[in-house]
Amino acid sequence: MRITSWLQLLLSAPLLWTVLQVIAFYTYVYYTPVAGSTIKRWTMQLTSAFHELFYQVRRPWIALSELERVHKLNSELMEALYLIACSEGPVSLPFGALGDLDFLSSYHFIPAEITYQTFHFRENYAILNKGSRDGVAPGMGVISDRGVVGVIADTTATHSVMLSIFHKEVHVAAYLPQQQVLGITSWREPTLNRLTLEYIPLYVPLSVGDEVWTAANSLIFPKGVKIGRVKQARMDLARGFYNIEIATYLDWHAPGPLYILAPRMPRRS
């Protein structure tokens, strides 16, 4: 009896009309690329405006936390300076995200901040407060002061969508600088701040703590941007490769200030 009444409700003319309209609208959007892209663009603009509003509201708190971070960094730098002054031998200085400084001449850095980001999905992304008006274009890499963060997927005039390295379809060409071996990162399992490095052959000598940088054959990142360190390596004898777990330098819950890597145009002679 109850099922019958539910069925009657489902088949009532207004509800049926709504369902049929949804089917017709979906068909229309599916077969009409202009409509699909326009709706996507509107949705993105609306989402950006919505998050921009929240970002403006949250700005004082962001500024306070940034101030706290700067104070902390300042104290660390003061400490490092003190250690340099006190040391007798060579002192290793942190170079942040950059393992190899050769590429600095061919890129410029566009500073950006996150106005919105997701944490719980298999396809994590963030909206950045810089867009095509600032020179950002899809396909550009994004780094923080710690290492690789993600890839720009789409832009509006004022905002851009960045796919995180913690996105199931984002893979970065990587290499082990100590061993000079190429591999590919992927986020196969939804683990916090962990990536998998694949296609490293079993004959390569590995040890926990080895650094992982971006490789020269990456189409997005220049060679030598830090990704993370080897946390654990398991042998996959069936495939003849290691399954390497990397602990990323990036903390997705606190990515900090970001920099978009914009390639410099070659100068005309």
Partner 1 sequence: MKSVLKVAGIGALLIAFQAILAPLTLIPSLAIPMPYVLFWLTLPFSWEGRLSLMAAFIYGIILDIFFPPHGLQTLCGLWVWAVRRLWLRILNPQLSPDSEKAFSLSSLERGEFFAYVFPLTAWHHLWYLFLARWTIDGNGLIYFTLSTIYTFVWEWIIFELVLRTTNARA
Question: Interhelix angle for 2-10 vs 13-31, to 10°?
Answer: 50
Stretch that binds partner 1, among 16-24, 85-93, 123-131, 223-231 (CB under 8 A): 16-24
* 9 lines the binding site for partner 1 (CB under 8 A): no
* 53 lines the binding site for partner 1 (CB under 8 A): no
**What's at 146, amino acid-wise?**
R
Among 24, 62, 80, 192, binds partner 1 (CB under 8 A): 24
* 25 lines the binding site for partner 1 (CB under 8 A): yes
Among 1, 3, 7, 17, binds partner 1 (CB under 8 A): 17
Among 1, 3, 9, 34, binds partner 1 (CB under 8 A): 34
Total chain residues near partner 1 (CB under 8 A):
19
Exposure string of 88-115, with b = 16+ CB inside 10 Å and e = fewer, is eeeeeeeeebbbbeebeeebeebebbbb
* 43 lines the binding site for partner 1 (CB under 8 A): no
Give the sign of the dihedral formed by CA 224, CA 228, CA 232, CA 237.
Answer: negative
* 11 lines the binding site for partner 1 (CB under 8 A): yes
* 29 lines the binding site for partner 1 (CB under 8 A): yes
Tell me which residues touch partner 1 (CB under 8 A). Answer: 11, 13, 16-17, 20-21, 23-32, 34-35, 38
